[in-house]
Amino acid sequence: MIVLVVGHVTEIRQTDENPPAGARFITADQIAETLARGAMPAIVLSPLSGPGFDAITIAQTLNDAGFRGVFYASTRPLPDPGLVTREVQRVAPDLVFDLLLPQDLAWFMRSVRR
């Protein structure tokens, strides 16, 4: 399974464990090019926001590139997570999107290693 990790997902980089073998780390600017080369990941993971991007711009880029898979954004607890989810679904309705809290991200990374 290929997991495309966009930007600097701190929770992954700070673990003592190695990332899953299928994890590919890229910048937000490399998404369209990576997908155009035929790398269709099962999952895309990014921080909710980073230098020059946020989950909305990532979702738009994925949508424009024809990606129709799962997109997770890692974040700390938010006062209204539904607001973010609705906005991502508005700009990229064909994506399966959800937010991952740090404890969810740790579980996710362990599960994709299996």
pLDDT digits (tens, 9 = 90+) for 74-107: 999 999 999 999 999 999 999 999 999 877 877 7
Q: Is 3.40.50 the CATH classification of the domain at 3-113?
A: yes
What confidence score (pLDDT) does residue 23 get? 84
CB atoms within 10 A of CB 35: 19
> What are 30-45's pLDDT values in tens digits?
999 999 998 889 999 9
CA distances from 4 to 15, 18, 28, 31, 79 (A): 18, 15, 11, 9, 27
pTM of the predicted structure, to 2 decimals: 0.85
CA distance 100 to 72: 6
Q: Hey, what's the torsion of the CAs at 74, 2, 35, 66, to 10 degrees?
A: -70
How is the chain split into domains, by residue range?
3-113
Nearest to 52, CA basis, from 32, 33, 29 = 29
